Structure 1
Amino acid sequence: MPKIEKITKQTENPYVNLYLVEGKNKVDHLFRYYVASRAKTMEALKIKTKKNTPDGVLMYSLYGEKRDKIVLVRQYRVSIDDYIYEFPAGLVESGEEFHEAAVREMHEETGLTFHPLKVDPCYEKPFFTTIGMTDEACSAVYGWCEGEISRKYLEESEVIEVVLADREEAKRILREENVAIMCSYHLMHFIHDEEPFAFLK
């Protein structure tokens, strides 16, 4: 097993930072590896705490009387200089329970009121997003929304269009648009499962 010998913080940013990890690999050769993290200090890195707590949440939410539409956001992302379809999502604030974060973030991004479902914890525990680059982990929260769409709660940096997609539109999005991978897998369930939450049972 590789041995980590030194970690150096490379940046000072409020939402994500870069850390240089140095050590020896399985054949005792030196390695250098960069890790992006939501951690604000080295002590808070998961490489140090060995605890997987959710940095963020994403919301799988149905909408409408028949709950036959899924709530998506079409969001501009600097990393690709383009728009991508995602689920509404956001960061969990310090001391905040992640279901509460889901309700807050849904309202901030869409104006909608989110009602989380009670599901087996194995479906909503934090899972790592892109482990080759970052220690970030997010919890998925499942439920349904009501209310009117509003953009008035968006931050200055957010460029977001709310999309209420039926199954046909979800198929089109998968075929033709940029889609975040976590969103794509859940859209496949939405399209093909007769009962939208069947995969949670």
Structure 2
Amino acid sequence: MAKITRLEQLTTNKFLNLFHAKGVNDKGYESNYFIASRNKDKSGLMITTHENEADGVGIYALYGEKHDKVVMVKQYRYPIDGYIYEFPAGLCEKGEDYREAAVRELHEETGLVFHPIDAKKMYEAPRFSSVGMTDESVAMVYGYADGEITDKYQEAAEEIQVVIADKDEVRRILKEEHVAMPAAMQLYHFLADEDPFAFLNI
């Protein structure tokens, strides 16, 4: 297994930082690797802790009396200089349970009230979002949403449009729009399964 020989912090930002790792693998190849992280300093990196804790949450929420619509957001993202369809998501606050974070984040981004369901741990376990460049880990939380949509709780830095999509609109989005990978994978269940959450019972 590769060994990290040096770790240097390059930025000191609030929400995202860049680290430089030097290492050597079991073939003797020496690498310079740059890692983006939600952590404020080296002490919280998975390189240091070797613990996988949720930095944030993704929220898969069904909406409507028949639970036949899904809550999405259309959000401007700087890395692509354009809009992308995603599930509502956000960062966990220090010491906050990820399910509590999901309730808070859905309300902040959409104004809706989120009711998480009790899914097996394997479906909510934190997963790495893009491990080739970051140690960010995200827990997916499933449930139902109700209430009225509003943008009054959104942060000034956010450019978010709330989308309540039925199956026809989801098909259009998948065919025509930029879609975040985690949302796309879950939307396939939404389209194919009579009960979109049926897979949670496997």
Shorter-chain TM-score range: over 0.9
Q: Which residue pairs with 2:9 in the alignment?
A: 9
Shift of 1:88: 0.2
Displacement of 1:31 in angstroms is 1.1
- Look up the match of 1:26: 26
1:91 matched to which residue of 2?
A: 91
Matches within 5 A, 1:98-177: 98-177=98-177
Q: Deviations over 1:77-117 (max 9, x none)?
A: 00000000000000000010000000000000000000000
Question: Partner of 2:190 in structure 1?
Answer: 190
Q: Between the two proteins, what is the percent identity of the paired residues? A: 52
In the alignment, residue 31 of structure 1 is paired with which amino acid? S
Within 5 Å, which residues of 2 pair with 1:39-118? 39-118=39-118
* Structure 2 counterpart of 1:173, one-letter code: I
**Aligned amino acid, residue 114 of structure 1:** F
TM-score, normalised relative to structure 2: 0.98
CA distance in 2 between counterparts of 1:161 and 1:56 reads 20
Tell me the alpha carbon deviations over residues 9-48 of structure 1, each in whole angstroms, 9 at most, x when there is no partner.
0111000100000021222232100010011110110011
Question: Gaps (5+ residues) in structure 1?
Answer: none
Structure 2 residue runs of 5 or longer lacking an equivalent are none
After superposing on structure 2, the runs of 4+ consecutive aligned residues of structure 1 that deviate more than 4 Å are none
When normalised by structure 1's length, the TM-score is 0.99
How many correspondences in the alignment?
Answer: 201
Q: Please give the root-mean-square deviation of Cα atoms over the aligned residues, in Å.
A: 0.6
SS of the equivalent of 2:143 reads strand
